[in-house]
Structures are given as C-alpha cells and as structure tokens.
Structure 1
Amino acid sequence: MRWVVVAAIALGMLVIVPVGLGLLEAPGLRMLRKVWPPVAIVGALSLAMPVSSPAVGLACVYAVGTFVLAGTGAARFLRDRSFAPVDVAALTALVTPAVAGASLVVERVGGTVLGFGPKILLLTVAHFHYAGFAAALVAGLVAQATRAAPAARAAKFAALTVPAGTLLVLIGFFAGEVVELAGAAVLTAGMWVVGALTWRLRASVSDRAARVLLTISSVVLVVTMLLALDWALGEAFGVPKLSLTWMAATHGVLNALGFGLCAVLAFSRLSVASADRTHPVAS
C-alpha cells in the first residue's frame, strides 16, 4: 500500500499542485510558482528515502514551501476580505497543503500525533493534496465557470461545502468518527455537485481533450466519493468497508489520476484557451 500512496503524493507534489497554482492568483504566488518544482522534487525524494535525518530535512523543506503557500492564501484574504464561495474555495486550496506538509515531516520522523502513526500520517499527506488542494481548487474553478442560474447557485453550494467538508474531516481526526462521518457526508455532497456541474460544463467546451478530461473527472467522482462515504460509515458504525490497502488502490488511485490530474489538466487547457481569447470558460 505504501508505494501506491507515495506515488499518488508525488503526483500531487510534482504535477497537480504546480499546474493548479497556475490557475490561482494571490500575492507572492508568481514567485512561489517559480520555486515550487525544486521544492516538490525535494518533497518527493523525502518519501523515497527510509526514515532518517536526511529524509526529515527534505520533508522540512517541502513543509516550508507549503507554509509559504498558506501565507499567500492569508495575504489574499487580508487583501480582499472576501467570503465569496469562489474565494473561500481558493483560500482552502492555498492553505490545506500545509496540513500535508506538517504531516509529512512527522511521518518522516517516524513519530505519532495524538495516537496517529506513520501509516495514517502518510494517508493524511495524500488526503490534503487531493481532498484539500485539488478538490477545493476544482470546486472554485467550476463555480467561476458556472454563471447561469440555477446552476450558479449549485456551484456556490459546492464551493462552500467542499471546504466545509474538508475542515470537518480534519476536525474528525481528533474529535472522533462521527464528526469525520459528517465531514465525509458534506464533502461527498459538495463533490457530487462538482461532478454534476463538470459534466454539464463539458458540453460547452470546444477543446476535445479538455472535454474528455472533464468527462473522466466528473464520472470518477461518483465512485470515489461513494467509497469515501462508505469508509466513514464503516469507521463510525461498523458497516462493511474496504481495507486501507484496497481504499488506496481504488479511492486513492482514482482520485489521483481520474479526478485530480484530469481536472487540473482540463482547466489548465481552458485557461490557456481563455487567455488566447478562443474560449470564455475559466476566465
């Protein structure tokens, strides 16, 4: 299981976060985009090494990068003072990698936090690259691209419930399985709305590759979030659920490749097209 999770995290560090940062705007973010690739390489290398002082040192470098990223989110909020759904989603995307960065350092130390050992910490690193950064980013982009009512109201709902669900899941790590289940339910509702709106959005996209990528990401969310909800129900009430290994192989892989990668690549293509004035989406 470990190497499946490590591969997903590396994909998040090396591809999904840097591509996603190109779709966001915040004070200081332009400079951070330039230095992110070496920071991400260092983070990925720390995961490839055995638990050791060098691995911890490299993880600390990556963690610092995520903290700086969170700082750009805070600077954006202080500048705009906006609680608009799109801005809440963007702030969540900028801040949540810091949770992954801090978890990475503790996991590389081989330690525990409030009883959570290295295995759970590694999954936390993955979770906050995808259910944190990628999910909030895409929810905000979908809301930004969806302007027609009543779909616009649904998009605003998703842009708020995805960050809220992510926060509840984080709180649930410490408060217990019932809170984590509530977070999973809220996050699932938000992501299913994102999936439905992405499916709707793809019909207006002229770029064939982007349309295919949007289709894949919307369909995958149906499966991955159902698995996440089932897992949370199993933890809270003992209903049958997949093992951690199978969750990594199904929910984790599909979320990384089918949702995260496909969605950010699609919106990146649409952003380039918009800049070239060939398509109005994601402007």
Structure 2
Amino acid sequence: MGKGTTELVDLLVLLGMGAVLPLGLALIDEPGLARVRRLWPLAAVPGALSLWLPRGGLATGCALLYALGTLLVALHAPLRLARTRSLAAAEVAVLTALTAPSVAGVALVAERSGYPLFGFEPHILALTVPHFHYAGFTAALIAGLVCRADHGSRPARCAALSVPAGTLLVLAGYFLGDWWQFAGAVVLSAGMWLVGLISWRELRPRTADRATARLLAASSAVLALTMLLALWWALGRAAGLPHPTLTWMAATHGLGNALGFALCAVLAWRRITTTVETHR
C-alpha cells in the first residue's frame, strides 16, 4: 500500500477504535460490558498511538494493550452464551460482534511488530484490522439489532446469519484462496443488503424522530454501493479480471462503510435505544 492509502486505513481504524466500537458496545445488553466501556480509553488510546509509531517494540506494546481490550470484550461471548443458552439468529450475530474485534487486535499486534502472522505480510494484516472492526463487529451487531427489531422475520434472520457466515468465509479465504473470499463477499453482501433493505422499508418508517430516520436511510443507501464494490474487487481478484486498486477501495468501499454505514448506523441505534429507555 502507498503512504496515502496507509494513512487513510489508519484513520478508519482510529474511527473504529475510538468511536464505532465503544458506541456499538453500548448497544449490547450484556452485564459487565458497562465496565469495559468505561475502561475502553485504556485500550483505545494506546491502540491509536501504535498506528503512528514506527514498527517496533513500542508500537507492538501499545498494540498489545489494545488487543487485550478486545480480548476482554471477546470473553463476554461465552459468558453471554452460557447465560442465554440461545443460538437464535440475532444472538449469533451479537456473539460474532463480541468476538470479531479480537481478530483485529491480534492482527494489529502482528502488523505493528512486522511479524508475518500465518505467513501474511504486514499490509494484509493492516487491512484485516479495519475489516474486523466494520464487517466483523459493526455489521454483525447491526444485523442482530435489525433482526430483533423486525421481530425475527425470515429476511431478518437470514441477514443476521449471513453477515457472520460471510465474515467467516472471508477470513477462511485468507487461507484457502481468492474464490473463498469471493464466496464470503457474496454471502456478506447479501446479508448487508438485507440489513439495508429492512432498515429502509421496515424500521425507518416506524421512527418518529427525523434525525434517526435520516441516519437509518443513509446507512442503508450506502450499503447498496459499497457492497457492490466489494463484490467487484473480490471477483476481479479471483477470476483475474480488472478490479479496483486497494487505494481506490480504501477511499470508496472503506470510507463509505466506515462513515456512511457504521457510524450512521450506531448513532441511529443509539438514538433508538435511548428513546426506548426514556419511555419505559
């Protein structure tokens, strides 16, 4: 990756670490996460600092503190499963959201140290970090929330299961080849398009708050384009066809998903949950 692309990816990771992830954690009704959210700056600040330090011991140490924070979040997944004893579609999505940041945290430690984890070069690991903040964490979380809000309808259940499955297939593609990544992109895109469609057609009209409706509309509309770009890139890689460069993907797919989908979606759901709590 060029310097400009690396800086843009780092900015997207900063947004994920400092805003999207803590806002998203506040939407998960899990005992114990409130303390994690209060202590989150102890992980996010060194994590952000690691991105601006040159690769080496100090950057690795800062990244390790962030990784420990993500592992603390991931520990709530088995605790939640033991408490709820549920593998309903919405729960699968939430469990995925809890575990996904730890993949990003481990990748960040390896990338900042310059270690080729599982044989992957640092630039691949650097792209893994934002992917598991946004596709892994935010997309799965929003899919789970949408599934609950739509009362577990069949499309909503499909979305809540497709997003985790697609993310897992994309991860498998790192090891099994480009066609697996393309399959993951297809499944993930289908799930995200369902999330956007349900948010636009079912949830947006229900909200009386204009700002919330606009945030839901923005997050839904952005997905139509950004996930199409993901399919184009994955198919081009697998089939040897012309496809966007990583620089172009970071500036379009990455920036659109981070700002247009993830940030808008978590802000919309924050307003929705605040309204529900106020009227209890």
TM-score, L = length of structure 1: 0.95
In structure 1, the residue matched to 2:214 is 212
> For 1:114, what is the secondary structure of its paired residue?
helix
Counterpart of 2:191, as a letter, is G
Correspondence for 1:111 = 115
Structure 1: any 5+ residue segments left out of the alignment?
A: 279-283
Report the number of matched residues.
275
Matches within 5 A, 1:234-249: 234-249=236-251
User: Post-superposition shift, 1:112?
Assistant: 1.0
Given the alignment, which residue of 126, 138, 142 partners 2:142?
A: 138
> Structure 2 CA distance, aligned partners of 1:82 and 1:98?
22
Give the secondary-structure state (helix, strand or coil) at the position aligned to 2:206: coil
- Residue matched to 1:176: 177
Matches within 5 A, 1:37-52: 37-52=41-56
| Counterpart among 67, 76, 99 of residue 63 in structure 1 | 67
The aligned residue for residue 192 of structure 2 is 191
Deviation at 1:114, TM superposition (A): 3.0
- State the alpha-carbon separation in 1 of the partners of residues 84 and 251 from structure 2: 40
Q: Are 1:82 and 2:86 counterparts?
A: yes
Alpha-carbon distance in structure 2 between the residues aligned to 1:244 and 1:38: 31
Equivalent of 2:14 in 5, 10, 16: 10
Query: Structure 2: how far apart are the matches of 1:80 and 1:61?
Result: 30
Shift of 1:26: 2.4
Cα displacement string for residues 212-236 of structure 1 (whole angstroms, at most 9, x for unaligned residues)? 1111100000111001111110111
- Partners of 1:144 and 1:219 lie apart in 2 by 21
Long gaps (5+) in structure 2 = none
Which whole-Å CA distance do the structure 2 matches of 1:145 and 1:45 have between them? 37
Displacement after TM superposition at 1:177 (Å): 0.8
1:20 is matched with: 24
Task: Give the structure 2 partner of residue 273 of structure 1.
Answer: 275
Moved more, 115-124 or 128-137: 115-124
Aligned residue in 1 for 2:162: 161
> Structure 2 length as normaliser, TM-score?
0.96
Once the 2 structures are TM-superposed, how far is the Cα of residue 52 of structure 1 from its aligned partner?
1.9
Q: Contact conserved, 1:26 with 1:75, CA < 8 A, in 2?
A: no
Does residue 223 in structure 1 map to residue 215 in structure 2? no
1:89–1:139 Cα contact (<8 Å) kept = yes
**Structure 1 stretches of at least 4 aligned residues deviating more than 3 Å after TM superposition:** none
State which of 249, 255, 266 in structure 1 corresponds to 2:257: 255
Shift of 1:152: 1.4
> Per-residue displacement from partner, 1:44-76 (whole Å, max 9, x unpaired)?
111111112111001000001111111011110
Deviates more, 1:257-266 or 1:207-216: 207-216
Is this contact kept in 2: 1:26–1:73, CA < 8 A? Answer: no
CA distance in 1, matches of 2:8, 2:194: 28
